[in-house]
Amino acid sequence: MFEVRQEAPVDLRKCPTLIEPFYTSKEHYKDLLAEHVKELQEQQGLLYASGHHAVLLILQGMDTAGKDGVIKHVVSGVNPQGCEVFSFRQPSSEELAHDFLWRSTCRLPERGRIGIFNRSYYEEVLVVRVHPELLKVQGLPDALLDDRSIWKDRYRSIVDLEDHLGRNGTLVIKVFLHLSKDEQRTRLLARLDEPRKTWKFNPGDIRERDLWDQYRKAYEACLGATSTSTAPWYAVPADDKKNARLIVSQVILDAMKQLGMRWPEADKARLEELRSIRNQL
């Protein structure tokens, strides 16, 4: 329902940011989310026990879209030993000295674990595209800075990476939290007006908000170019935080269940060993 079609033009102005909620009350929402979290615990346990797959969840969206809230409420019930969260901010000098995928590939989850990227290598075709001056500090040869080719080349590098991950047992789940400009304004005002939220406010968010249309176009190009059968994008309506969390948790569950994981079964030799150990107890 929310999957972005492969190689199809994307117009986010035609994609809803608010839909009929899947919950009927606050209590119903809590019950539904608790069910999803419980199922996620089961899937995470299977993931760890089987040890054949890894899961990478990528969260992207405009400022205030709710990425932190999804991590807090949806993944909160997963065993912290089997889950790692990484937030990618302004790259360091060491990171800038490498290719644009280097800093995130260093953080890819190992088999049996869930990795969550709060923003990701996609910033290199989003923020950097909106702010092309950032390319100048990346040390690239001038020949590679052609605006007619650099973004297509980066899309290709990203798709190749995600295909490679899929061929090696990593399930890539990509979620774009689709927020409206009006709802962003409401959330930014809340950060200004509510004492418990003022710490979240960043003056830079206002400057970035002025570039809303440029970001929308960058997202449209990115989603259309990098949604694949191996790693599709899901454009999740994000104006209703609760509904977005339910949708994202269901997307994760559906994707993990498709792996068909099972609890490992002990062979005859192992069963004999366990029986011997039991007798010693």
Name the residue ranges covered by the structural domains of the chain: 12-280
pLDDT digits (tens, 9 = 90+) for 111-132: 999 999 999 999 999 999 999 9
CATH number of 12-280: 3.40.50.300
DSSP structure class, residue 21: -
Give the pLDDT score at 203.
82
| Residue 158 banded pLDDT, cuts 50, 70, 90 | very high
**Please, is 198 exposed, middle or buried when counting C-beta atoms within 10 Å of its C-beta (0-12, 13-18, 19+)?**
exposed
Calculated CA dihedral for residues 251, 256, 257, 262, nearest 10 degrees: -160
Average pLDDT (76-96) is 87
Q: Which residues pair with 176 in a beta bridge?
A: 60, 235
pLDDT (tens digit, 9 = 90+) per residue, 169-192?
999 999 999 999 999 999 999 998
- pLDDT above 70 covers a percentage of the chain that reads 100
Residue 72, strand partner residues = none
Which stretch of 62-66, 73-77, 106-110, 160-164 has the lowest confidence by average pLDDT? 73-77
pLDDT band per the 50, 70, 90 thresholds, residue 7: confident
Q: Are the CB atoms for 220 and 12 separated by under 8 Å?
A: yes
Mean pLDDT of 50-72: 96
Q: pTM of the predicted model, to two decimals?
A: 0.93
In sequence order, which residues have a C-beta less than 8 Å from that of residue 167 and are 6 or more positions away? none
